Amino acid sequence: MEKLYVIKIGGNIIDDETKLSSFLQSFALMEGGKILVHGGGKLATKLAKQLGVEQQMIDGRRITDAETLKIVTMVYAGSINKDIVAKLQAYQCNAIGLSGADGNCIVSHKRGSNSPLGVGGIDYGFVGDVDQVNSAFLKSLLDQNIAVVLAPITVDVTGQLLNTNADTIAQETAKALSSLYDVELIYSFEKNGVLLDVNDESSVIETIDPSSFKKLKEEKKIFEGMIPKLDNAFAALQSGVKRVIIGKAEELNQLISGSSGTSIVQ
Amino acid sequence: MEKLYVIKIGGNIIDDETKLSSFLQSFALMEGGKILVHGGGKLATKLAKQLGVEQQMIDGRRITDAETLKIVTMVYAGSINKDIVAKLQAYQCNAIGLSGADGNCIVSHKRGSNSPLGVGGIDYGFVGDVDQVNSAFLKSLLDQNIAVVLAPITVDVTGQLLNTNADTIAQETAKALSSLYDVELIYSFEKNGVLLDVNDESSVIETIDPSSFKKLKEEKKIFEGMIPKLDNAFAALQSGVKRVIIGKAEELNQLISGSSGTSIVQ
């Protein structure tokens, strides 16, 4: 099967023009099919502030009310997505930017839509959990040698746009395409990888398998915020994804070659 | 050849949620390939005002400075484009929303980029004039029975996004696809068609051909603002477009069947 890279870049890269350009230059040069999933960065929060739209946060999560949904749709699917696509075109990499509504490529449902209070008693507002990825459609683009750039906005079956976690989009897209491609899923962020000591960038754990993950958790040697990412990584591997890598966005080439970052293996 | 409709909707429809929904319901039900090109509406101007970005206008045209480009990219390619696509999905019409940067589908150059002052001594800023429409790529989407929704934002060869006139995008897209499809180009707006008396909605001219156009102009019986639209319509016909119709967005079915609006013929 052909190789496909599904790469998630976090907000800190999006907020840093130099880092983003450098990342996109590396991305443009990569061989094989490629899908880039981007998060939101600080631009939406900044715009909301300028417009006087108050941002409600519960447990560190943004509550997406109707006004906030309009803002994140503009910023994620408009501003950030089109800037990335235009930059990739400048680097001679044909790309297409999509929200989940485009080609119905990522269909979700409103979180907690069966309960007025949502998950855990919290109503997150217009937030979507992914149900289905239209892999045939994405393949039709990849077959034309077009890189797909996914904004973290999806759509439900009633045509409601929903704010959606970019990590989840990356994971679900990687899983859905694993029957058509040899998929490698890369979570790129600001750190060198999964660290034994969160303050020491040289303490990267090169490989994590289920038994070492269990041990690391038991010994509380792993940063708590990293656990859901690793849980998702193992879930992706169990659904047919070939390799999951977590590491630094600026070292994309090394992440792919395996000389940097943390590899999650079964 | 298969039939393809290229339909431009103006700002007044976009600004009116009821009219827009009604138009999109009719659009969703249309048979054949379809491309929808949307203008901007008042949302960008409103957002610019809220953000304190002053809008320079010269001769009734917006000057697109860097800040305004960010705003129109967000509003046109983000907000309006994704709202239209999501609504079409709700109406069971699979659709994809694109800027010109996506799949490099509409490549332009900065107006007056050879001269620091631009056309006619005016620097319009980040405004693009269309050079090329990637018809093979658009066909690959239409072949999948996906309606294409184009935002009036294009890209130049350096990856610079550019604000672009939606009428021009519609015309250039119709022309480029006329070697692959039987193309009908529809300019839909707030009036019933080309009017003999601009204040009398019942004075629609049913058909205009080059000789009657000449006569109408000579007798000054045609609203001046309509002349560039008609010039463009005749240019499109000369480039292979089969039919051009100008008429009311709310009467889309009648425009297609020929029972409403003005037909421009050779």
Q: List Cβ neighbours of A159 (8 Å cut-off, separation of 6 or more).
A: A101, B86, B87, B88, B89, B90, B91
pLDDT, position A260:
95
State yes or no: pLDDT of A60 exceeds 50. yes
In 10 A of CB A149, how many CB atoms? Answer: 26
CATH number of the domain where residue B127 is located:
3.40.1160.10
Mean pLDDT of B61-85: 95
- CB–CB contact A97 B96 (8 Å): no
DSSP letters spanning B117-179: T-GGG---BSBEEEEEE-HHHHHHHHTTT-EEEE-SEEE-TTS-EEE--HHHHHHHHHHHHTT
CB pairs < 8 Å spanning A and B: 124
* 3-state DSSP assignment of residue A154: strand
Q: Which amino acid is at A205?
A: I
Mean pLDDT of B138-155: 98
Q: Which of B78, B91, B102 sits opposite A85 (nearest CB)?
A: B102
- CB–CB contact A140 B137 (8 Å): no
Q: Judged by CB atoms within 8 Å, which residues 105-144 of B form the interface with A?
A: 137, 140-141, 144
State yes or no: pLDDT of B113 exceeds 70. no
pLDDT, position A194:
94
Range in A59-63, A138-142, B74-78, B205-209 with the lowest mean pLDDT: A59-63
Cα B136 to Cα A95, A102, B37, B45, B143, distances in angstroms = 15, 19, 18, 34, 10
Q: Which of B52, B59, B47 is nearest to B123 (CA)?
A: B59
- The Cα–Cα gap between B156 and A72 comes to 26
pLDDT, position B121:
67
B-interface mutation test, from A82, A83, A134, A137, most B Cβ less than 10 A away = A82
Which pair of structure tokens corresponds to residue A152? 């973290």
Structural domain tally of chain B?
1
pLDDT, position B10:
87
DSSP letters spanning A68-116: HHHHHIIIIIIIIHHHHHHHHHHTT--EEEE-TTGGG-EEEEETTTTST
Q: Which of A75, A94, A146 sits opposite B78 (nearest CB)?
A: A75
Percent of chain B having pLDDT more than 90? 81
What are B1-13's pLDDT values in tens digits?
Answer: 999 999 999 888 9
Do β-strands B153-155 and B182-189 pair in parallel, antiparallel, or remain unpaired? unpaired
Residue range(s) defining the domain that contains residue A132: 3-264
What are A80-117's pLDDT values in tens digits?
Answer: 999 999 999 999 999 999 999 999 999 999 997 555 54
Whether the Cβ atoms of residue A143 and residue B103 lie closer than 8 Å to each other:
no
Cβ-based contacts of B141 with chain A (< 8 Å): 103
Q: Judged by CB atoms within 8 Å, which residues 66-95 of B form the interface with A?
A: 70, 73-79, 81-83, 85-91, 94-95
pLDDT, position A41:
80
Cβ-based contacts of A77 with chain B (< 8 Å): 77-78, 81-82
pLDDT, position A114:
57
pLDDT band at B117 (very low <50, low <70, confident <90, very high): very low
Cβ-based contacts of B161 with chain A (< 8 Å): 82-83, 86
What are A205-221's pLDDT values in tens digits?
Answer: 999 999 999 999 999 88
Q: Judged by CB atoms within 8 Å, which residues 140-169 of A form the interface with B?
A: 140-141, 144, 146, 153, 155, 158-161
What are A168-193's pLDDT values in tens digits?
Answer: 999 999 999 999 999 999 999 888 99
Mean pLDDT of B179-208: 93
Cβ-based contacts of A51 with chain B (< 8 Å): 50-51
Q: Which of B82, B101, B103 sits opposite A86 (nearest CB)?
A: B101
- CB–CB contact B89 A104 (8 Å): yes
Give me chain A's average pLDDT, please: 93
